[in-house]
Structure 1
Amino acid sequence: MFKVDEVDIKLLETILIGPKVHYGDLMSVTGLSKPTIVKRLNMLSVESKKLGAIIVRKRGDGIYVEGDKTELLKIIGNTHYGSEDRKNKILINVLFREEPITLQELADELFVSRDTMQKDFHQVKKTLKENDLYICKSSQGIILGGLEKNRRHLISSIINHIYDSSDGILDNQDKLDDFWSTLLDTKGVKEVQNLMYAFLKKNSIEYNNYKFKNLVIHVLIMIERVKSGSYLAPLEHNTENYILTETNSLVGQLENKFKIKLNDNEVAYLNSHIESLEDTGENGRTSKNMDKVAEFIKSYLSDMNHDQLLIEELTSHLSAAISRLDKGLVINNPYTMKVKEEFSYNFEKAVRLSKEVEKMFRVTVPENEIAYICLHFQSFSERHSELEKIKAVIVCTTGLGSSRFLEQRILRDYSQSIDLIGTFSLHEFEEKISKENIQMILSTIRISNDYNKEIVMVSPLLTDIDHSKISYALQKIRDKARLEDYLIDLLDPTRIYFKNFENVSEVVDFMSKRLIQDGLAEKGVTQSIKEREKIASTALQSVAIPHCQPKFVKKSSLSILVSKSGVDWNGSKVHLVFLISFNSELQKQLKVIYHYFSKLVSKKFLKIALKASNGQDLFDEIIDYLKEEETA
């Protein structure tokens, strides 16, 4: 096996995800220059050829892999990802450990130096702090402190990350087993999966694969923590403590199979997971506040564009979500960052709705949940889009019933944005269907892409994550639309600043003060921006996008701040700040503006901004960059 680093892995993943990529794609995902990528591909080409895979590079055609890809996939699946992988291993070790351990002992277990361990442990402590956990020191070493609930939530997030890290092109069971190897053997993990499958089937409980995965992870963690004598505290706000008959049956099976004893608190949490499996309120399995939530949603949406389907979807989702959150259950969302980046307009809608949900139902809505809410607004936008419909087909091999169900969901949710040509088996699609006018393929199975079309793998049940994938693909196709000068009209070289500040508060004070001085905003704008940051940070990697309520804006504008030293933005280091101040007159154009604005929120543009020396230079670079991106 040839040696590869994290960058090589990213290059191979991007090429294998395919069907064909270009140097611009590889430059975007790695941040490297074209000459550097060429050198790396030269090395990878030589080594991959020995494994039976040919990395093809054709001018005007693209970069792709021919031949047997099996060994390349194994390399990606078995490669440890440097510091990120070590950090997760350290976290898992500390999270499951009940006795003190020294940093030197941790370093020895991972075969790294003490200096490397100290650097990694700095990131570990940061992650622990973000999850309300902390390290306690003693003469014997370090040990974890904090609530058991928070400990298990972080373990669950790490395991979910392992499943989702390769965006679906690999089976991560080997990597998952690596984490569980010191806790449960592979047979034990499989036993839990089989037991849960049988339980859900026997009790006719509906579920999707994503929620099933969360349930299995919860049970695996529960078994190991209970074996160590660590139990959950009582559920918050739980006064009824009603346990489903099905849950009691499952508890008996788990106790007998794994020789454990679950107390009332563990049973209550497990019961909450069973209740949350279904998205609807049938059989009393989800929130009993369905009617109250429905009235709340109708009232909230009354002053904005909506349809009956949006009301129903938000009511269904929020009823289940409020029930989960009220009991302290938080589900993972691997697409949160992508949703924030790609659907920023509707993410802001979701943020505002979440704030009202918190007031009305006295729960805390995390970013993962906000991202799911955003997808419902995004689906509404797609249904009522005025853009030309995207021609698509469905390829499904799971049977007539499943294919018809998927077809009806697509027709219902994307009637205004997708022109569905038909639903076909793989054989029909490959042998009988003309590919000329097709722009997007929705498939329930993995298919090779020799047609240069946008392929989206979806579940026959069309989950929230599937909606995210489809919306992202639609946006990607539409990115080829002609460039409008919306953003350029909002920019002014005099509102592009090159200054260094310590923290977010200093930046907001400076930029909002300039808006007030220029007559573009009123005094309340500063506090409005800071209040928005308290709800959910607007930082996306090295970029922050603060904004305010329209009522404080006299004239719409966009301000930019470049900080070469970096700003501490609520724990994230930010080098580029876009301050959005749009008034109500601009609301109808917001979707289009955000579409073009999202192109500036990228590593590629960040590098351009950091090289600029003054406002006029960066202003000119922005215009050139947008035109280049639109024609790429």
Structure 2
Amino acid sequence: MNEKIKQLLDILLQQKSYLTALQLSEMLGVTERSIRNYVRILNSSETQDPLIVSSNKGYRIQRDLYTESIENRLFAKDDADLLFKIALILMNQSTFITFDDLAVQLNYSVESIRSKVQALFSKIHDMNLHVTLESRIFTGIRILGEENQKRLLLEQLIPIEEIVKGNLTESTFKLLGKLSSKEAINTEISSIDTVFSRHHTTMDFIVYAKIICHMIIAVSRYKDGHSISLSEVGSNNKSHPEFQLASSLLAMSVLPINNEAETMALTNYLIALPLNMPGAFVPEMNQLQRNRLEASLKRAEEYYGIPLYSNERYRAQIMNHIMRLLDPLEESIPIFNPYSKQTKRECLFAYSIACFLYDDLESDFRLQIPESEIAYLAIHIQLVLTEETKNGIQTKLVFQGKKAEGELFRYKIQTYFPRIDIKTVTPTMIQADLQKYQLIIRCGFQEPVAANSKIVEISKGMNTRDIAKIQNFVETVGTASLIQQLDYHHMNESSSESAIEYLLKKSGYFNLLPYFQKRESMSPTDIGHLVAMPHPFLKGSETTAKVIIGINRTEIPWGHQKVRLIVIYIPASDLKTNKNFFNDVYEHTSNLAEVHALLETKTKEEFIKVWNRKGDYSNAL
């Protein structure tokens, strides 16, 4: 399929609301008829419900049908199948095999096989598995690595998303018929269902399908004499509930397996998956591990202002999560997280904290942390952030009138705006209130006080305009001044590195470049919808926080995305990070129409006007 269809899929994935054929055609530079044809092609690639739904509002993707690896099915199905076949042949060979022999077995030309082997080499490198392809001139190629890693390679090459609920055995057999019969696959699935039921274990369907494939590969390899050795796996996780689950899965398999190394390998594999198991498990940790984790949480709390360490429950929750995954990470077991991209975008501030923690721990534990695990930790941190934000906006109501009337007004405001927590109602305010409260609402006064971003003036009538004033404050609490004082630049750069460098130079923050480079090396700061939000690692401005906006003439490759709008955030000198601004950026960039309206601005004033605008962005300027 052509590149435009891939671009269409990417746009729809990043948009929650509908987009019209006209909007999509303008974004892709094609006709509306082409858009309709692309949608038809995408929907014809599905065997179940249509991937793209249409209505009089436009087009929208069905996210529950989409997974991150759907492109294997839509764009590279034949390649994925061929790479799996090549890997399987190489794993079954104890010696070198020539490209000619591979070509004969697979009924492809030698040139095609050479190119696919090169593609397999690249995939192995990207997977970070301890498996290598050894090639010798005039001799051929072979695959080297431990059995556990070879199995993981095979599994990573399977387009698991082709397994469907309505035809589970048949769709699994279609993928793994080279390893097992249909009857054996059906028996294995029944055994897995029985074990999960007995252990009261649940999971998403894609995780369930992944476990089925893993078990079929494990049984096939074990049956053919390729077993895992104890030297390949850690044996520290026998107290984990996943150990009992692994033991049951192997004991009830179509080929019962009673082998300690196989059980430990499966245990660590299950730990790396998002399973819902009853009870709360606390993994063991030695004093050195505890000290290192606690030190990292302390530093994160100081930097981000979130009680990750001082709150005992939060501290235990995050430390337990990290400790659970140490063995799978050490054994290079891929952490499976089908929601990595979504988490990175929707939990932007939590993702930044997770990057900080894992960068702090990588050297201590000598681990390479994949983005999928950073995203998992971000989910745990997001739960902390969500709970913390239950504490409302600390507010003082300055009310001119009777005390009883003021109390009724307090109730009315808090009913309209649950995030507002009015601590006191008084007839006057003092200068110290600006330091004590996040918001001061003055009601019923004829003469306003000096303008201040924390003060909202409203009438006793609580009209539509008054409600809009308060709502605007609630939605932008702590961020309004950052937007008003932002720097704004148009540019024409060709890479993320040069874009950051250009903007820092233009705004006088070039000394912070190494800290931005450090943050980008941890995980690219692209967040989708043509937007990136670079920020420095452990370094702030010399004074107050700063926002720098860059609008690039063309799209820049940035991580896994293309970017035109760059929102640089620099925390204040005390390194206190404004989590509200991260949330504000997400809210404003969730709507692709708003992003395009921001990209069309020519001046700082126009940009701020669009940023503060609510609703329809089709004619924002």
**Same fold judged by TM-score > 0.5?**
yes
Q: Is the 8 A contact 2:195 2:249 kept in 1?
A: yes
Q: How does 1:86-125 map to 2 (within 5 A)?
A: 86-98=78-90, 99=93, 100=97, 102=99, 124-125=120-121
1:213–1:194: structure 2 CA closer, same or farther, 3 Å change rule?
A: same
The structural deviation recorded for 1:24 is: 6.8
Match for residue 76 of structure 2?
Answer: 84
| 1:538 matches 2:525 | yes
CA contact (8 A) 1:345 1:590 kept: yes
Deviation at 1:177, TM superposition (A): 3.5
The match for 1:492 among 478, 482, 487 is: 487
1:166-224, CA deviations, whole angstroms, 9 ceiling, x for partnerless residues? Answer: 9x9x877755433212222333223222223333445x464545665554333222223
Quick one: distance in 2 between partners of 1:373 and 1:246? 23
1:196 aligns with 2:192: yes
Asked if 1:342 corresponds to 2:346, the answer is yes
SS of 1:584's equivalent in the other structure is: coil
Following TM superposition, by how much is the alpha carbon of 1:332 offset from its aligned partner in structure 2, in angstroms?
0.8
Structure 1's 574 and 39: CA in aligned 2 closer, same or farther, altered over 3 A?
A: closer
TM-score (norm 1): 0.60
**C-alpha distance in structure 2 between counterparts of 1:604 and 1:201, whole Å:** 46
In the alignment, the residues of structure 2 paired with residue 328 and residue 157 of structure 1 have an alpha-carbon distance, to the nearest angstrom, of 13
Alignment of 1:178-197 (within 5 A): 178-197=174-193
Q: Which amino acid aligns with 1:272?
A: N
8 Å CA contact retained: 1:196, 1:216: yes
Which aligned pairs between 1:503-522 and structure 2 lie closer than 5 A? 512=504, 514=505, 518-520=507-509
Query: Alpha carbons of 1:340 and 1:605: their partners in 2 closer, same or farther (altered >3 Å)?
Result: same
Aligned to 1:468: none
Change (3 A) 1:238 1:83: same
Q: Corresponding residue for 2:537?
A: 549
**1:134–1:144 CA contact under 8 A, matched in 2:** yes
Q: CA deviation at 1:351?
A: 1.1
Structure-2 separation of matches of 1:330 and 1:214 = 12
- C-alpha change, 1:7 and 1:506, in structure 2 (3 Å) is closer
**Whole-Å separation in 2 of the counterparts to 1:629 and 1:350:** 31
Q: Tell me how far 1:347 sits from its aligned partner.
A: 0.6
* Structure 1 pair 122–629 and aligned structure 2 pair: CA distance change class (3 A): farther
CA drift of 1:86 comes to 2.7
2:49, 2:509 → 1: CA distance?
62
Distance (whole Å) between structure 2 residues aligned to residue 340 and residue 629 of structure 1: 25
Partner of 2:152: 153
Any conservation in 1 of the 2:179–2:217 contact (CA below 8 Å)?
no
Summarize the Cα distance change of 1:562–1:271 in structure 2 as closer, same or farther, 3 Å threshold. Answer: same
Equivalent residues in 2 for 1:6-17, closer than 5 Å: none
| Cα distance change, pair 505–201 in 1 and its aligned pair in 2 (3 A) | same
Aligned match of 2:580: 591
The alpha-carbon deviation at position 343 of structure 1 amounts to 1.8
Unaligned runs of 5+ in 1: 390-415, 418-477
Q: Distance in 2 between matches of 1:224 and 1:125?
A: 24
> In the alignment, which residue of structure 2 is the partner of 1:258?
255
Are 2:374 and 1:370 aligned? yes
Q: How large is the Cα RMSD of the aligned pairs?
A: 5.7
Matched with 1:421 is none
Cα distance change on mapping 1:601 and 1:184 into 2, 3 Å: same
**Of 543, 548, 551, the match for 1:558:** 548
Where 2:180 maps in the other structure, the secondary structure is coil
Give, in angstroms, the shift of residue 333 of structure 1: 0.6
Q: Is the CA contact 1:280–1:316 (under 8 Å) kept in the aligned structure 2?
A: no
Deviates more, 1:101-110 or 1:368-377: 101-110
Superimposed CA distance per residue, residues 54-80 of structure 1 (whole angstroms, 9 cap, x where no aligned partner)? x99765x56699xxx9xxx9xxx9998
Equivalent-residue separation in structure 1 for 2:220 and 2:54 (angstroms)? 49
What are the Cα deviations for residues 410-458 of structure 1, in whole angstroms up to 9, with x where unaligned?
A: xxxxxx89xxxxxxxxxxxxxxxxxxxxxxxxxxxxxxxxxxxxxxxxx
Q: How many residues align?
A: 505
Displacement of 1:374: 0.9
For the residue of structure 1 that corresponds to 2:519, the secondary structure is helix
Compute the displacement of 1:123 (Å).
Answer: 5.1
**Does structure 1 residue 331 correspond to structure 2 residue 335?**
yes
**Does the 8 Å contact 1:235/1:328 carry over to 2?**
no
The residue number in structure 2 matching 1:380 is: 384
Report sequence identity in percent: 14
State the match for 2:434 in structure 1.
none
265 and 124 in structure 1: CA distance in 2 versus 1, 3 angstrom threshold: same
* 2:462 counterpart residue number: none
Q: Distance in 2 between matches of 1:117 and 1:602?
A: 44
Q: Which residue of 2 aligns with 1:457?
A: none
For the 8 Å contact 1:156–1:218, the answer to whether it is kept is yes
Q: Which residue is equivalent to 2:400?
A: none
Cα pair distance change 1:79/1:280, threshold 3 Å: closer
- Deviation, structure 1 residue 110: 8.9
Native 8 Å contact 1:490 1:557 kept in 2: yes
Q: Please tell me the residue identity of whatever aligns with 1:557.
A: V
Shift of 1:330: 3.3
Unaligned stretches of 5+ residues in structure 2: 394-417, 420-471
> Secondary structure of the residue that 1:97 maps to in structure 2?
helix
